[in-house]
Amino acid sequence: MSVRTPTGAVEPTGLVLQPEIPLCQTDLPLDWYQEEFRPYAEEFLALPDRKLETVLGWLEGYVEPARAHFGDSLLLLAHFYMGGEIVKLVEHFGGAVSDSYVLALQARNQPEKTVIVESAVHFMAEAVALLARDDQEVWITNPKAGCTMEMLAKDWMVMPVADQLRERYGDDLLAVSYMNTSGRLKALAGETGGAVCTSSNAHLVVDWARRQGKKILFLPDEHLGRNTAARLGMDLGRVRALPDPQRGAIHLSDFDELDASEMILWGSSCGVHTVFTADMVRWWQEQGWRVIVHPESPLEVVQAADGSGSTNFLWKEVVEAPRGAKLAIGTEGHFVRNARDQGALRGVEIAHLADIPEPGYDSAGCGCATMSRNDPPHLAGMLDLLRKGEAPDINRVLPGDSVDERTMARDRLPADERELLVQDARLAMERMIEIVESSS
Ligand code: SF4
């Protein structure tokens, strides 16, 4: 995995290609592909197996011509929760693999890269586009790859509630938007004097927000918000979660509890991280394992664990664990699988927190399923279509784009509104960078 440096540079993950190991990727049905991508999917589905060397050999036929065509202007990006070990493939072809924050900085830090192809979820590609220059194009290999946490915090869900809160609290309301939000919600943070945050700096950003003496609206992850409040020693009785957006539109009527609260949490969550329970943590601890979890997990899981932190924190624990150590990790499955492979090379045992070999515990499965919709045929097709000048516009990502991940319907802002959104969202991201830098 990558380790973030203060400049946002990406270092190689250290992941080793093991050609004989099959990819952890479920084949998608042919009708899940855009029409333009089906020929690539048909070829992929006809491959004899899913071993890395087979997939790599096939991908090379498309990736290498694209690299030769675009030269230094091409940048491949992947998040390390990607399925099918795309992380290894992308890195193999000279691309960068990292977390969403570092990915977002890549266009800004490399102005010579004008064709940027991302294998990750939509909000991550949009964050790259938010910081990109006008001559840098950002493409996502599958626009249907959405983050379920972000999908439950679409602007049309959040804005009516934010408007009611702004009506009641005026300038005293300040939004903190986690990286896992659309540009529209990052712009809301900028507009209300707030900031973006990541899982590694949420405590710094919320601490800063408290010092502004404002009421905080934390978007969109209820669990990261509550874990951050607990870490800062806030009175959890004054941290209120809004109803789960899956239950339908939220209409605020009783403001008494909200008036008394210091922080209001949007009620979204990550389906991957909320499968964990404190019971699972104790099971591994009883077997003598150290347990570390991501703070998108519920509070009781974080409190029971031996440590919690961002993906970079978890990876650091893996690479620094002494020979003979045993680590059970509560986070996304592909990450843990990669960590397990790397740990094995150094005599460190790694297990997925949910993979308990006893009845009553369900396996956690492969990983973030929506992110895995960016599979090898999507990468091959995207690069080949771009090279031929035939890439579908729906795969192009501009700041402010809102995509329905089921239907692929896209709402694109007019240029003037997009410009305003970029200003506000960048302001919120710059505030985060200032807060982090001034803390160190
Ligand atoms: S792991 Fe969870 S938070 Fe991360 S992209 Fe997937 S659904 Fe979103």
Q: What is the pLDDT of residue 13?
A: 58
Q: What is the pLDDT of residue 16?
A: 54
Q: What is the pLDDT of residues 282-321, one digit of tens each?
A: 999 999 999 999 999 999 999 999 999 998 889 889 989 9
**Residue 120 CA, closest ligand 1 atom number:** 5
**Measuring from atom 4 of ligand 1, which residue has the nearest CA?**
147
Q: What is the pLDDT of residue 18?
A: 54
Is the pLDDT at 23 greater than 60, yes or no? no
Give the closest residue to 234 by CA, choosing from 254, 264, 255, 256.
264
Bridge-based pairing state of the strands 96-98 and 74-79: parallel
Is the pLDDT at 11 greater than 90, yes or no? no
What is the SS3 assignment for 421?
helix
Is the pLDDT at 323 greater than 90, yes or no? yes
> Other C-beta atoms within 10 Å of 170: how many?
8
30-146+370-408: CATH, from 3.20.190.10, 2.102.10.10, 1.10.3470.10, 3.40.50.10800: 3.40.50.10800
Is the pLDDT at 432 greater than 50, yes or no? yes
Bridge-based pairing state of the strands 215-219 and 173-178: parallel
Question: Does this model's pTM top 0.85?
Answer: yes
Q: Please give the structure tokens belonging to residue 276.
A: 């964990």
Q: What is the pLDDT of residues 355-384, one digit of tens each?
A: 998 887 766 666 787 888 888 999 999 999
Give the closest residue to 212 by CA, choosing from 177, 240, 174, 170.
174
Q: What is the pLDDT of residues 40-56, one digit of tens each?
A: 999 999 999 888 889 88
Give the mutation target among 199, 336, 370, 374 for probing the ligand 1 site: most ligand atoms within 8 A of CB.
Answer: 370
CB 191 within 8 A of CB 166: no
**Residue 370 CA, closest ligand 1 atom number:** 6
Q: Residue 118 and residue 385: Cα distance in Å, rounded?
A: 14
pLDDT band at residue 1 under the 50/70/90 scheme: very low
Distance 124 CA to ligand 1 centre (A): 11
Question: Does residue 269 line the site of ligand 1, with CB under 6 A?
Answer: no
Give the closest residue to 123 by CA, choosing from 192, 28, 220, 3.
220
Asked, as a colleague might, if the bond just before 220 is cis with ω within 30 of 0, I would say: yes
Axis-axis angle for helices 222-231, 202-211 (nearest 10): 70
Question: Does residue 137 line the site of ligand 1, with CB under 6 A?
Answer: no
Q: What is the pLDDT of residue 10?
A: 58
Distance 48 CA to ligand 1 centre (A): 31
Question: Does residue 221 line the site of ligand 1, with CB under 6 A?
Answer: no
CA 335, chain centre distance (Å):
12
Q: Residue 128 and residue 337: Cα distance in Å, rounded?
A: 26
Contacts of 333 (CB under 8 A, 6+ apart): 24, 272, 352, 364, 365, 366, 367, 368
Q: What is the pLDDT of residue 192?
A: 98
Question: Does residue 272 line the site of ligand 1, with CB under 6 A?
Answer: yes
CATH superfamily of 150-271+424-439: NadA-like (3.40.50.10800)
Residue type, 376: P
| Mean pLDDT across the chain | 90
Q: Please give the structure tokens belonging to residue 100.
A: 């969403």
Question: Does residue 149 line the site of ligand 1, with CB under 6 A?
Answer: yes
Say which residue the tokens 């009175």 belong to. Answer: 235
Distance 298 CA to ligand 1 centre (A): 14
Q: What is the pLDDT of residue 2?
A: 36
Question: Does residue 148 line the site of ligand 1, with CB under 6 A?
Answer: yes
Domain boundaries along the sequence of the chain: 30-146+370-408, 150-271+424-439, 278-352
Q: Please give the structure tokens belonging to residue 370.
A: 């929506």
Give the mutation target among 80, 81, 352, 374 for probing the ligand 1 site: most ligand atoms within 8 A of CB.
Answer: 81
Q: What is the pLDDT of residues 56-71, one digit of tens each?
A: 899 999 999 999 999 9
In this structure, what are the phi and psi dihedrals at residue 11, rounded to the nearest 5 degrees? -100, 155
Q: What is the pLDDT of residue 195?
A: 98
Find out if CATH 3.40.50.10800 is the number for domain 278-352: yes
Question: Does residue 297 line the site of ligand 1, with CB under 6 A?
Answer: no
Please tell me what DSSP assigns to residue 307.
E
Please, is 319 exposed, middle or buried when counting C-beta atoms within 10 Å of its C-beta (0-12, 13-18, 19+)?
middle
Question: Does residue 81 line the site of ligand 1, with CB under 6 A?
Answer: yes
Q: Residue 317 and residue 59: Cα distance in Å, rounded?
A: 33
Q: What is the pLDDT of residues 402-420, one digit of tens each?
A: 999 888 899 999 999 999 9
Question: Does residue 180 line the site of ligand 1, with CB under 6 A?
Answer: yes
Question: Does residue 124 line the site of ligand 1, with CB under 6 A?
Answer: no
**Measuring from atom 1 of ligand 1, which residue has the nearest CA?**
368
Is the pLDDT at 132 greater than 70, yes or no? yes
Comparing 187 with 83, which gets the higher pLDDT?
Answer: 187
Contacts of 370 (CB under 8 A, 6+ apart): 121, 144, 145, 146, 147, 148, 405
CB 344 within 8 A of CB 377: no
Contacts of 19 (CB under 8 A, 6+ apart): 51, 52, 53, 56
Q: What is the pLDDT of residues 77-131, one digit of tens each?
A: 988 777 656 777 788 888 888 788 888 888 888 999 999 999 989 999 999 999 9
Is the pLDDT at 3 greater than 60, yes or no? no
Decide if 30-146+370-408 and 150-271+424-439 have a common fold: yes
Q: What is the pLDDT of residue 413?
A: 97
Q: Residue 194 and residue 212: Cα distance in Å, rounded?
A: 10
What is the SS3 assignment for 264?
strand
Residue type, 102: V
Question: Does residue 364 line the site of ligand 1, with CB under 6 A?
Answer: no
CB 398 within 8 A of CB 127: no
Element (H, E) at 290: strand 290-293
